[in-house]
Amino acid sequence: MKKSFITLLSSLALAFILTACASASTTANPQTEDQVATIVAGTLSAIPTEAPTTEAPPSSASLEDFPNKVFIGENERFSVFLLDPTDPTSVEQTGSIIIYNKGTKTVYEIIGTFRLLTNSMPIFNDDLGEYVLLSVGTYTSRNAIVISLADKKQAVKDFCISSGEGASHVFWNGYVIYNNCDTFTNRPWGAGEAPSVVAVNLKTGATTNIAKSDALHQFNVKGVTDSTLKYLEISVGAEADWANTNSHIRTEKTYDLSALSQ
């Protein structure tokens, strides 16, 4: 419709110009060439012009754009792949990664190089889907790599998390609260794992010790309700009692996480 209107106006302008030229040759008081040019210029300036067309933004990347990738791990929301592996048959790989949001079909190309294991590595994320935690390792002491999807890079330095019996970690308001990898030689198991509870700020990297293990105490993260952290204190009366699980004293504890922002 817009092009037809412009074409009509152009035709009327042309007809006007031809009429003006014809009048110049037949009337007693012909218009000069300058007068005709002025009329033509005024007429053409009144014709609306089409707005310049803008190119459509390029479509976002898809998984098909990365044919040479190796599956690392996934959860219900995200899948993680390592790009351009040098030896696809090796369990341990080093390279860049992409993270795929299975709900929105969004692909995030993450800045940096990472050393990962290609054996269905555990993947975790916060409720908002802003951070993805990669749990790297084959033992109860594992390396945690937290990725900020907004920044498309690693949020903070790697840190060690325990995945031993009862140990856990949770996200809360831009923090990860986790069981770390503290050990004591008086524990009669594994490498003597005796985790503490630590919170790391994913914006600044600052850490806060919420509950610190010692020769007679260790702790397990249980979960978060609103701003209240629930965790379990496991203690003994004497160091020798660690060998007897019936001597372990279990006490439910809470911590107000709002104190982290003070």
Give Rg (Cα) of the chain.
Answer: 35
Q: What integer is the mean pLDDT of 112-136? A: 93
Q: What is the pLDDT of residue 74?
A: 95
Q: Looking at the whole model, is its pTM more than 0.85?
A: no
197 pLDDT higher than 70: yes
**What's the sign of the alpha-carbon dihedral 149, 153, 159, 161?**
positive
Q: What is the pLDDT of residues 137-150, one digit of tens each?
A: 988 999 999 999 99
38 pLDDT higher than 70: no
Torsions phi, psi for 65 (to 5 deg): -75, -5
User: Residue 51 — pLDDT band, cuts 50, 70, 90?
Assistant: very low
**Tokens standing for residue 78:** 């995200």
